[in-house]
Structure 1
Amino acid sequence: MTERAPRIRVQRRPVHGVLLLDKPLGFSSNDALQKVKWLLRAEKAGHTGTLDPLASGVLPLCFGAATKFSQLQLDAPKTYEAMALLGVTTTTGDAEGEVLQRREVDPAQLTPERLAAVQAQFTGAIRQVPPMHSALKKDGKALYEYARAGVEVERPARDVEIYALNLALAQSEQAQPAIKIRVQCSKGTYIRTLGEDIGQALGCGAHLTFLRRVETGGIGVERCVTLAQLEAMTEEERLACVQPVQSLLAGHAVVTLNEQDAGRFLSGMRRRGPWPDAGAVAVYAEHPPALLGVAHARQGELIPDRLLSPLEIQQILQGPQGAPCGTEPPKTH
């Protein structure tokens, strides 16, 4: 009987920052996160919103202290490109499901005027019924678990916002009529449901055959790295792809505190100063330059909201290999 080779235990380390991943097809968001976490040998990680295995595109991954600010990306507007095949509906709203119904599609009926009317119908505030094949929970169980068991449960409609929508007539690879969709939307929008609803409004039904997230919270897919690229890199190159924690705070006002005020702020104390009212403030120490956390300013008071720990700050300053790694705050204008 041959002996098994001993398993090599990965030595984890503190990594703090954000890696912008172009998630590949076939991976769940958590699969992609765990793969990158393993490649970086990171101790703590989280993603910023689920992207279906059949979807690709922008998935910011947060490590260490950056996980404290992942909600900012969860709440951010997102932009998708999708293809909806007309005339065929499925159980899941995408190509993975079983066909429910097939209908003839007359391309002559898909005039620019009709597409424009449907586009207007689904722009602005709309209501969606979440799909059964989704991770939403009911009685502690994900909806897709009910769906797999053949059980359909009632789902209340939800309000979402479609900030911009563009529909264009296209053809699938099988030369069947399809609609190319580009949409910028609020969090909680289901693009599969949007595709189904557009197909219903056109009178022929539809399901998604392609879905790609091209932007989230101002982060475009052109800034992302693929899993294949990461796997081909050296460890140092991978770490160089990790952007600093404060890259999540691009829309925040900036306040820099002296050593005395920085210490007190970090212990949760409010500080007084000549700061205008602001709902989102990134707070830095002057020396050594380091991100302390986020706050809001009201009537001359800087009020802590989410703070880094002294250990996290020390680890960020040292860098993952123990080398100095500065976190110079953005310049105030």
Structure 2
Amino acid sequence: MKRTQRKIIRRAVDGVLLLDKPQGLTSNAALQTARRLLNAAKAGHTGTLDPMASGLLPLTFGEATKFSQMLLDADKAYEAGVQLGVDTDTGDAEGTVLATHPVAVSEEALREVLSRFVGDIDQVPPMYSALKRDGKPLYEYARAGIELERSARRVRISSIDLVSFDGSRFVIRVDCSKGTYIRSLAMDIGAALGCGAHLCALRRTRIGAFGIEDGVPLAQLEAAEMDARDGMLAPADTLVSAFPRIDLDAQQAQYMLQGRPLSLTEQGEGFARIYGPDAFLGLAEWKPDGKLWAKRLIATGEANQST
């Protein structure tokens, strides 16, 4: 007798979970675990973290998924451990050792090399990355033993602070633009020092305005009751909180929900988060015609909102 599989009925959950991802877990596994714990119907994330990395991984649920792109474009900060004298095929501690070199690096020499990487730099993405070529991530080619030519990309390193150095291993704090690969930075620093290097630890500590101090450890989420888990979610408008707020009256809100532009007394530029009398409505954009047009609206005005 064929057994029918019971369909899981999930609930509508709107909000943002600033997850502190543990090391050893893929971003998708962390997302699916959080989704299961919240029994959420719809979920997404705002960019991935390697399994070996820990730290801030904002997860979006329900209507908040519409604003995930806002954090994909945000600047980020990391604390990275780098091992000198050892090159690996992946550029991190999980790879196969390709070569070892003697290390004779002073702290003064290290600081001088680190300073060279501050500012706008050209960086070649590593083969072991999720960057796609012809619809397939580069790491799949790498695992098949295929090395593809990659063009250098311009990224910005706002600052590099040396936290500690013991002669062969150092820890740095890095503030950088989107698209920066910290493992590539580690390898490039090792090459500049003449002894090779690989990334041996990584923790993301900031994305945009959100810091690791706001993060919820996965173990804490797992240990909590459902009501408490819901209380760990930030409201759906959290990811657009950096944009100016515009409060609309009931008629203006109705026009916006109908896709009609608004001519307001005070004009702005760029994006704005818009609110009706009772709820967050979504994101709008000032156009060259001086009018405010809906950019991305949530499906319901019932989602929780911040002030």
Q: TM-score range by the shorter chain?
A: over 0.9
State the shift of 1:167 in Å. 2.7
The answer on whether the counterparts of 1:253 and 1:278 sit within 8 Å (CA) in structure 2 is: no
CA distance in 2, matches of 1:81, 1:5: 50
Gaps of 5+ in 1: 317-325
**What letter is aligned with 1:135?**
A
Cα shift readout 1:28-54 (whole Å, capped 9, x = no counterpart) = 111100110011010111000010000
Q: Between the two proteins, what is the percent identity of the paired residues?
A: 49
Contact preservation (8 Å) 2:13, 2:62 = yes
User: Matched residue of 2:130: which SS?
Assistant: coil
CA distance in 1, matches of 2:6, 2:214: 33
1:148 aligned to 143, 150, 153, which one? 143
Give the distance between the partners of 1:116 and 1:4, measured in 2 at CA. Answer: 67
Indicate the residue corresponding to 2:280 in structure 1. Answer: 291
Superposition deviation, residue 7 in structure 1: 6.2
- Measure how far apart 1:300 and its partner are: 4.6
Specify whether residues 5 and 177 from structure 1 end up closer, same or farther in structure 2 by C-alpha distance, changes over 3 A only. farther
SS at structure 1 position matched to 2:255: helix
SS of 2:237's partner is helix
Which digits, 9 at most, give the CA deviation of each residue in 1:66-114, with x for residues without a partner?
11111111100000001100000100000100001101111xx4232x2
- Kindly provide the amino acid, as one letter, of the partner of residue 266 in structure 1: L
Deviations 1:287-329 (A, max 9, x none): xx111111123565212111112xx324x2xxxxxxxxx53x6
Deviations 1:245-298 (A, max 9, x none): 111122111111111110110111101112232212000001xx1111111235
Which residue pairs with 1:201 in the alignment? 192
CA distance in structure 1 between the aligned counterparts of 2:198 and 2:182, rounded to whole angstroms: 10
CA distance in 1, matches of 2:193, 2:185: 12
Report what 2:301 is aligned to: 313
Q: CA RMSD in A?
A: 1.8
Q: Greater shift after overlay, 300-309 or 182-191?
A: 300-309
Q: Equivalent residue of 1:272, what SS?
A: coil
For 2:75, the equivalent position in structure 1 comes to 77
2:158 is the alignment partner of 1:163: yes
Alignment match, 1:235 = 226
| Kept after mapping to 1: 8 A contact 2:107/2:165 | no
- Please tell me the residue identity of whatever aligns with 1:122: F
Q: Deviations over 1:226-254 (max 9, x none)?
A: 11111110000001111101111221111
CA drift at 1:168: 4.6
Q: Which moved more, 1:246-255 or 1:55-64?
A: 246-255
Structure 2 contact 285–293 (Cα < 8 Å) conserved: yes
Distance in 1, matches of 2:255 and 2:47, equals 34
Q: TM-score, normalised by structure 2?
A: 0.95
Q: Please give the alpha-carbon distance, in whole angstroms, between the structure 1 residues aligned to 2:18 and 2:5.
A: 30
Where 1:271 maps in the other structure, the secondary structure is: coil
Is 1:23 the counterpart of 2:18 in the alignment?
Answer: no
For 2:272, the equivalent position in structure 1 comes to 281
Contact 1:132 1:152 in 2 (8 A): yes
- Aligned twin of 1:320: none
For residue 34 of structure 1, give the secondary structure of its aligned residue in structure 2.
helix
